[in-house]
Amino acid sequence: MDAHECIFCEILAHREPGSFVYRDEVVAAFLTIGPINPGHLLVVPTRHAGGVGDLTGRENAAMFSTAQRLSQALRQSSISCQGINYWLADGEAAFQDVFHVHLHVIPRFPGDSFRVSFEHTTPARKELDQIAQSIAENLDQG
Ligand SMILES: [Zn+2]
């Protein structure tokens, strides 16, 4: 996607409104317009990057360190926050909706509407070992 068609790039450029909580040269955090709970934040790189694989190491690290700082701020604020979920959808199959990487920081409390539905599988150890090997063989030695 062209960065000029990207809603997050528009917000970062102040051509669309955004309720910012934090910004530096690498990352920014603002409130989502569709919060699960009040205080639901999105952490994004300030440079357009479609997916996790497009992030630099610095951007990736900054996203998570900023999410950690935001989590602490949420817990210390007046916002209802007894727990926090990070949610990052990378790719359409993972429910990514805006193709500018964004890490959700979601304040949680008992009885809220957040749900995740899935079924655990129970693979044999041999299968786990084969899968682990396949991933390890493709791991960037970075
Ligand atoms: Zn963008």
**pLDDT single digits (tens) 80-128:** 999 999 999 999 999 999 999 999 999 999 999 999 999 999 999 999 9
Among 73, 94, 95, 92, residue whose Cα is nearest residue 84: 73
Ligand 1 centre distance from Cα of residue 19 (Å):
17
Q: Which of 14, 102, 104, 120 is catalytic?
A: 102
Name the DSSP letter for residue 5.
G
Phi-psi region of 119 (alpha: psi -120 to 50; beta: other; left: phi over 0): beta
Question: For 39, which DSSP code?
Answer: T
Q: Which of 62, 60, 110, 56 is nearest to 83 (CA)?
A: 110
pLDDT tops 70 at residue 2: no
102 catalytic? Reply is yes
Long-range contacts of 126-133 (CB under 8 A, 24+ apart): none
pLDDT band at residue 3 under the 50/70/90 scheme:
low
Burial class (CB in 10 A: 0-12, 13-18, 19+), 73: middle
Ligand 1: distance of its center to the CA of 111 in Å?
A: 34
Mean pLDDT of the 37-45 span: 98
User: How far is the centre of ligand 1, averaged over its atoms, from the C-alpha of 140 (Å)?
Assistant: 26
